[in-house]
């Protein structure tokens, strides 16, 4: 199991939202690059970056992401607002993986073209859900798509990893969505990154026991409820 700390970028600053709501943002007083360099020294090998400005269609944080990629050796996966072939190609040149959500659900033709241009191995599918209903466009719109069925379809297409975010749990520190994670792990063969609700080492242990491949930690580490040092000790156990 891999621990992946997360950085949400909003106006160039590190923030955390509650249930995807920009009006409920908590801003953290540190430089994104300094933070990533600190994590790298601790032993983190991979990070997850969410570009909230791109998600909300109010610009992007590409320059900051490129700088982090240039000055660190850490593996970076980036999501948020990747909705065109041009931007997908541009940012995929600077990071290890790109995370695609809305386009994969809403525009299958465009999604396939992006896969062809950047390569299937560089793509992670992000599925944000409420009660197995996938939400899109920054969690503002219902897609009408079922979570488990969509995962099966993406697996058949050749996607190797999906990132599952429980919107109800995200940023709430109420524990992960164990029930859904168990169901998905049982019903599919795809690699899973789990996000949303983690509040303790015990939560990480529970999800690891299900067989989930990676856990993304955001608010819990930025609020110092869980430390990166104690979390990564579980990777090899």
Catalytic residue positions, numbered:
8, 128
Strands, DSSP E only, in 31-122? 46-51, 75-79, 97-100
Q: Which contiguous run of DSSP H or E holds residue 126? A: strand 123-130
Contact present, 8 and 43 (Cβ < 8 Å): no
SS3 171: coil
Q: How many CB atoms lie within 10 A of CB 46?
A: 17
CA pair distance 123, 105, nearest whole angstrom: 14
Structure-block tokens of residue 160: 């190797």
Structure-block tokens of residue 224: 């110092």
């Amino acid at each position: 199991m891999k621990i992946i700390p997360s950085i949400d970028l909003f106006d160039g600053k590190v923030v955390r939202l509650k249930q995807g709501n920009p009006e409920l943002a908590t801003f953290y007083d540190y430089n994104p690059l300094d933070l990533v360099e600190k994590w790298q020294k601790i032993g983190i090998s991979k990070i997850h970056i969410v570009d909230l400005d791109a998600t909300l269609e109010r610009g992007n944080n590409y320059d900051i992401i490129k700088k982090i990629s240039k000055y660190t050796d850490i593996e970076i996966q980036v999501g948020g607002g990747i909705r065109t072939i041009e931007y997908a190609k541009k940012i995929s040149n600077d990071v290890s993986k790109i995370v695609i959500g809305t386009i994969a659900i809403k525009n299958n033709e465009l999604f396939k073209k992006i896969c062809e241009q950047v390569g299937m191995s560089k793509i992670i599918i992000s599925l944000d859900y409420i009660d197995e209903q996938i939400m899109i466009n920054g969690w503002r719109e219902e897609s009408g798509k079922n979570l488990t069925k969509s995962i099966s379809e993406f697996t058949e297409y050749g996607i190797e990893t999906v990132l599952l975010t429980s919107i109800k749990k995200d940023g709430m520190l109420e524990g992960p969505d164990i029930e859904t994670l168990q169901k998905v792990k049982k019903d599919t063969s795809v690699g899973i990154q789990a996000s949303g609700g983690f509040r303790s080492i015990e939560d990480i242990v529970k999800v690891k026991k299900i067989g989930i491949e990676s856990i993304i930690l955001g608010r819990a580490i930025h609020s110092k409820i869980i430390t990166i040092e104690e979390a990564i000790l579980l990777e090899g156990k």
